[in-house]
Amino acid sequence: MLRVLQLIAVGFVLAACGADGEPIQPTMNATVGVGSSGTHVGGGIGLRRGGLGIYVGR
């Protein structure tokens, strides 16, 4: 289910970049954490325009 949401978000970002009007610059982040239980990796992608923001990630 998470993969499906990520694919939808990527499609939304690509569609938003080619829409009429000024393109929206997507934002991305990546994290790597190290703790006593091991390491974990996370990341996400988002769009922000005015007061509206959409972010999909972990």
Q: Which residues are CB-neighbours of 37 under 8 A, at least 6 positions away?
A: none
Q: What pLDDT sits at residue 49? A: 79
pLDDT, average across residues 36-57: 85
Distances (CA, A) of 19 to 14, 23, 45: 9, 7, 18
Q: Count of residues for the chain?
A: 58
Q: What is the pTM assigned to this prediction? A: 0.45
pLDDT digits (tens, 9 = 90+) for 32-44: 999 998 998 889 8
Q: What pLDDT sits at residue 34? A: 93
pLDDT(15) > 90: no
- Name the residue with tokens 């996400």: 44
Contact by Cβ (8 Å): 47, 40 = no
Most distant pair of Cα atoms in the chain: their distance: 49
